[in-house]
Amino acid sequence: MGYDRKYGKVTCERGTIGEDEPVVVFRAQDVLLPDALHAYLLICMTRAGVGAEHLKAIIDAHSAVKEWQRLYGAKVPDTQIEQVVNQVRED
């Protein structure tokens, strides 16, 4: 079980995440997520050792997010800058 700073404990159905491992959760409602996934895909494609299965998972996630957004819409993230600054200060 990992931990996301915004959402708290993150559990997964397959595999394991260490109890103290930081996890970052992006939601499909985030209008910026498709661009973030695309950038991540490009980075992965230029790094030696990133397998085709991982690349396919990113492409599939991108497609699923775009479809979700088409059906339900998307919005700009609403985390307040003060929340981010306070988290950085705590580190």
- Specify the pLDDT at position 86: 61
Model confidence at 5: pLDDT above 90: no
Which residues are CB-neighbours of 10 under 8 A, at least 6 positions away?
1, 2, 3, 4, 17, 23, 25
Higher pLDDT, 68 or 6: 68
Higher-confidence position of 88 and 65:
65
Q: 14-71, pLDDT tens digit by residue?
A: 888 888 899 999 999 999 999 999 999 999 999 888 999 999 999 999 999 999 999 9
**Residue ranges per structural domain of the chain:** 2-75
